[in-house]
A and B are shown apart, each in its own frame.
Chain A
């Protein structure tokens, strides 16, 4: 019998085992970093940031796990923002706490929405279960932080990064911690204490510390957007400093990105259009969202007036019989009205990024989570 025939059972078993391992999410695709440093990296969470997902109860978890791609619903405007960020020299990396076996359906949903991404990391809960690491099934910091650091270590890092999360769990803490590591503002000792407070397993903590040591420094995280899925009071996030922006919807994200020079006026207005087309928002709500950002000092009056002016100019220059364009004139008029009604009043905003007591923040997050779980 030839060598090839004798080896067939082993190769067949390996192939079947590998396919099964991929299907249940035990094996993940390798992380391929950027070969050329992008100009700007955007790091996204998925559930409750991009997708409207409920997982507070077992029933919700099961439902989320069984949904098809077409059943999954993105927040109005989220897909438009992500599509707008897909530009040359931009890199889009998704790190989600959803389990790896959901990769196919989540990738299909992103494809349906026309969203491009460069990295897509999911949580290997199959491996956690096999290793008896049940704490890891719900833990967020010991999973997300090393995933973010590993992504930064793989390939050439961008000088600018923006991050997108939500207020359901610990995204604000994880992202700020990551930003402070990259900015060299946190020591290995302090990071070790944080991982201990976050109840990371010793080997996971050691791996995170090593990744933090290796992660390229320089550049930094410009913006951390926290989508207020639970409608947490914005003042809860004041302690995290001005780089963290709590947002009520994706129009607010688009406005801040416009203010930062990442998106242009046309892209912002098409985010607005997607939100209007969803039927869940109207022009007054978008204008109120803009005013809220202005009041909180997150976008300046000149920026808003420039956007209103560009919307007005677009309304004059383009005739739209098909209804495929945003309602530029109504938007421009509503924006100007909101600016007037603020009468120049803006809430004070601190400019310096504070040094955070992450151990205290992690402890508080654990308390909040236990309270929520008790209520549910």
Chain B
């Protein structure tokens, strides 16, 4: 299960997804005493939901992997599922996928992605989210790996957002010339030469929300820091707006006038409620949902996983990475 709102919001998200119709088979893994009780109280289509009981209690895994994470990873690896959707701990998932999943040809490091809402929308789906990868705080990346991240990000963006030529940028301390480690400079050169990447150049962190790029490539630690700051900034904006509401009468009146506008910002400041982010680089797909996510986010992530599968994401990724990074 995993996440702050497990299992209630996960089960509710799965129930919602089951009612949406379409070819879908959702496997819920965890303590059925809890899952089943929650499921029986809400509307759902039982023919689209499968249950796998994992007894609660301390993990029996020698490396301490939570039982349900290990079970899901093993089931997906065995072909019992095309994708995993989870709000469980990121590090647990990185460990589980490294142990049980096969990397795509040519992939030396999988990329943990995140989505971030931007001013400009993209693709035929009018998608408000840009893809940022890699945001795995644990590791840096070589220039070749950064280019591989770009290729995988392009495949993901083109299939999910129906964006035919996603704009790719490299996250750097400065964009002219791209400032950062030598790997960034080398990746910049390589991407300019790559014929299958619509490379728009280096990008500073402040430019991400503007939407000038659809796929933003970064080494893990930098991507993680930038995303965390953007997330915190969004929350701070909303908190400051609500704080001003408690101040002087004139401020309160102004805030009231802005209420509608502020409410319309919520999808962007609470974006973690509305989307899941992929781990790319394996023969199987993981969509990670924010630990604080609600049922809507889980339902959306299940929908995205189903779309990704039906549009052949994994074979397309294998072709992109198999070309040679």
Interface residues of A (CB under 8 A from B): 230-235, 248-249, 281-282, 284-289, 291-292, 295-296, 338, 341-345, 347
Contact = CB atoms under 8 A, between A and B. Distances in A.
30 contacts: A230-B43, A231-B19, A231-B43, A232-B43, A233-B41, A233-B44, A235-B41, A248-B45, A248-B47, A281-B47, A284-B25, A285-B48, A288-B46, A288-B47, A288-B48, A288-B50, A289-B47, A292-B46, A292-B47, A292-B49, A292-B51, A295-B36, A295-B51, A338-B50, A341-B51, A342-B51, A343-B55, A344-B53, A345-B33, A347-B37
Contacts of B45: 231, 248
Interface in B152-191: none
A287 B51 CA distance: 11
A296 B43 CA distance: 15
Nearest to A334: B50
A291 B53 CA distance: 12
Nearest to B19: A231
Interface string B33-74: 100110011111111111111010000000000000000000
Majority SS of interface residues in chain B? mixed
Given A231-B45, A235-B41, A285-B48, 19 more contacts: A231-B43, A233-B41, A248-B46, A248-B47, A284-B50, A286-B47, A288-B48, A288-B50, A292-B49, A341-B50, A341-B51, A341-B52, A341-B53, A342-B51, A345-B33, A345-B36, A345-B53, A347-B37, A347-B40
Contacts of A285: 25, 47-48
Contacts of A347: 32-33, 36-37, 40
Contacts of B41: 233, 235
Among A230, A281, A338, A343, the one with the most B-chain Cβ atoms within 10 Å of its Cβ is A343
B82 to A, nearest CB: 12
A286 B45 CA distance: 12
Contacts of B50: 284, 287-288, 291, 338, 341
A344 B55 CA distance: 11
By Cβ-Cβ distance, the 3 closest A-B pairs, closest first, are: A292-B46, A285-B47, A343-B53
B183 to A, nearest CB: 45
A83 B32 CA distance: 36
A315 B42 CA distance: 37
Interface in B16-39: 19, 23, 25, 32-33, 36-37
A234 B53 contact: no
A289 B46 CA distance: 6
A234 B40 contact: yes
Nearest to A247: B46
Contacts of A282: 23
A249 B43 contact: no
Contacts of A249: 47
Contacts of B52: 341-343
A11 to B, nearest CB: 58
A231 B40 CA distance: 11
Contacts of A292: 46-47, 49, 51
A343 B32 CA distance: 10
A127 to B, nearest CB: 37
Contacts of B55: 343
Contacts, number: 67
A284 B48 CA distance: 8
Given A235-B41, A285-B25, A288-B25, A345 B48 contact: no
Nearest to A249: B47
A130 to B, nearest CB: 40
B316 to A, nearest CB: 24
Among A230, A235, A341, A347, the one with the most B-chain Cβ atoms within 10 Å of its Cβ is A341
B311 to A, nearest CB: 20
Contacts of B49: 288, 292
Given A285-B47, A341-B52, A233 B36 contact: no
A288 B50 CA distance: 5
B33 A231 contact: no
A18 to B, nearest CB: 48
Nearest to B32: A345
Nearest to A285: B47
A260 to B, nearest CB: 20
Interface string B312-324: 0000000000000
Nearest to B42: A233
Contacts of B43: 230-233
A345 B53 CA distance: 7
Nearest to B50: A288
A143 to B, nearest CB: 28
B64 to A, nearest CB: 22
A232 B42 CA distance: 7
A281 B50 CA distance: 15
A2 B44 CA distance: 73
B17 to A, nearest CB: 13
B54 to A, nearest CB: 8
Among A282, A342, A345, the one with the most B-chain Cβ atoms within 10 Å of its Cβ is A345
Nearest to B49: A288
A210 to B, nearest CB: 40
A149 B113 CA distance: 64
A342 B46 contact: no
Nearest to B25: A284
B36 A291 contact: no
